[in-house]
Structure 1
């Protein structure tokens, strides 16, 4: 026996332990990797939990902590910027609570609705108009004025027409009193490519305006009748809101739009003005308080998660074109 304990036994190769050493190294590496994976998993779980907690905190904190009281007499401002859609500053869910808060506040002398919108959903616009009409009846001493920014067209003007007065810049774009329903047809392209459309429906009209099927005269007539009906609703809102101020022409309800200067001549608007000038010269209360519902980061993050989950379901239920005021 050798006196050196580290030396191999007689006749045994010097590298006889390499297999065991290699296995030990692999085992230690695997354990280390598993520990790192667990740490990252815990990190992302804690991060997700933190985002959810922050979102809930922000929601309850900001939604309950925005009461505007004891500010004295002021002009209430609400902004609609962008398309009139189910989300964003032009949605009924955002505009209506702001309108209610502005009208009900004891310190608000008047409400100024600043609009910069090319139009959008007739449903959202109609809901906002109905609420404006209700609030104006409930608060007859609080006027509502609209100030047009760059553009107030179609669905934007649908809302503006319900105001007491509309103020514009001479270069603003105003009008577009019409309705459209757009889409695409791919039948010719499919024939050239040799692609066959296989559509099964339960209900003879379930494939209404399917872009991959030929357009039928029946469906086209039905769609046209529907948008004509919505157009008449739009015209009725404008005539009711503007009254005798309108100087109707054959083109007024054709979908055309005009400059702010021309809109005043036609009775679609009442004069020139900005938010500041209306507050100062019309309302005669220069202090302006913004009642616009501004969406925070936590709400946007949560909506992204919801949109990702719901988009597929919505598309599977509804694939046709929708009427739009734009």
Structure 2
């Protein structure tokens, strides 16, 4: 009852935001994006005057834009509310998942957590020879000679690959700048951290990509006291999802997520 009595000191509160899944602009329930996480992030910083916000991250990455939007919202609210943010990596915070972790003031990992993969990837298939084998003719009509760039049903063009590589380089540069702003002098000198390679927990700590080994509740209690309270915020499931009317969509999302996690052996 003491938290409701005026002028009486209350136990510290830590707001926990669960960020789990592939990062994508699409609206499936299994993904993370700015639209789907905005409300819970805003509430986590606003309710109960938290002493800190803890991010529980388990994400293999995804959309660089959505990663940037979510991270920017967390960083902005942290500065506005003057609330420190701690990121706790569960299985993986790689690629866009690590982009999210870098929104925090401190990053904590498990010994077996996977972090890093600071790079940009684009994957597709070349199907032009397959359709030719079956006598299928691809007919595409465009206004603008590059409108069908990277069409998988046409032979790959060197100029298309050059454009894609240029775009990837710009996104990669933004990712690197974000990591450097967040981690600063904590990053290991003379270490090549931005090749897309990923590492396990302690190695990530040694490289300055994380601050130490630690789990959410014990670490927060160590920092704020044994009586620290926790309020957990996660994405809400809609009415249709709760009654199972999006089964096909969820199955598709699960398959996509498994493919993304599989890149890291998970």
Return the TM-score normalized by structure 2.
0.82
Per-residue deviation, residues 255-307 of structure 1 (Å, max 9, x unmatched): 000000100000000011111112211233531111223213435679949x8
CA-CA distance at 1:233 after TM superposition: 0.6
**8 A Cα contact 1:74 1:107, kept in partner:** yes
**Structure 1 residue ranges without an equivalent (≥5):** 1-68, 308-325
Aligned residue number for residue 251 of structure 1: 192
Aligned residue number for residue 227 of structure 1: 168
Greater share of residues in helix: 1
Aligned residue number for residue 146 of structure 1: 87
Per-residue deviation, residues 7-50 of structure 1 (Å, max 9, x unmatched): xxxxxxxxxxxxxxxxxxxxxxxxxxxxxxxxxxxxxxxxxxxx
**Partner Cα separation in structure 2 for residue 207 and residue 197 of structure 1:** 12
**Partner Cα separation in structure 1 for residue 242 and residue 170 of structure 2:** 35
**Partner Cα separation in structure 2 for residue 282 and residue 269 of structure 1:** 17
Written as runs of structure 1 = structure 2, the 5 A alignment for 1:56-75 is 73-75=12-14
Aligned residue number for residue 84 of structure 1: 23
Aligned CA RMSD, in angstroms, stands at 2.3
Choose which of 91, 116, 119 in structure 2 pairs with 1:175: 116
Please tell me whether residue 214 in structure 1 is matched to residue 155 in structure 2.
yes
**Structure 2 residue ranges without an equivalent (≥5):** 5-9, 250-263
Written as runs of structure 1 = structure 2, the 5 A alignment for 1:31-110 is 73-86=12-25, 87=27, 88=29, 90-110=32-52
Written as runs of structure 1 = structure 2, the 5 A alignment for 1:129-208 is 129-140=71-82, 142-208=83-149
Greater share of residues in strand: 2
Written as runs of structure 1 = structure 2, the 5 A alignment for 1:7-22 is none
Aligned residue number for residue 113 of structure 1: 55
- Secondary structure of 1:251's counterpart equals coil
Per-residue deviation, residues 74-123 of structure 1 (Å, max 9, x unmatched): 11001011111233452212322222111122331110000011111111
Q: Aligned in 2, Cα 1:190/1:248: closer, same or farther, shift over 3 Å?
A: farther
CA-CA distance at 1:183 after TM superposition: 0.8
**8 A Cα contact 1:279 1:287, kept in partner:** no
**Partner Cα separation in structure 2 for residue 262 and residue 163 of structure 1:** 19
**Partner Cα separation in structure 1 for residue 23 and residue 189 of structure 2:** 26
Return the TM-score normalized by structure 1.
0.68
Aligned residue number for residue 296 of structure 1: 238
Per-residue deviation, residues 162-215 of structure 1 (Å, max 9, x unmatched): 210000001111100000111111112223333221111121111111100111
**8 A Cα contact 1:279 1:288, kept in partner:** no
**Partner Cα separation in structure 1 for residue 60 and residue 164 of structure 2:** 23
**8 A Cα contact 1:77 1:112, kept in partner:** yes
**8 A Cα contact 1:147 1:275, kept in partner:** yes
**Partner Cα separation in structure 1 for residue 206 and residue 166 of structure 2:** 32
**Partner Cα separation in structure 1 for residue 191 and residue 182 of structure 2:** 19
Q: Aligned in 2, Cα 1:203/1:303: closer, same or farther, shift over 3 Å?
A: farther
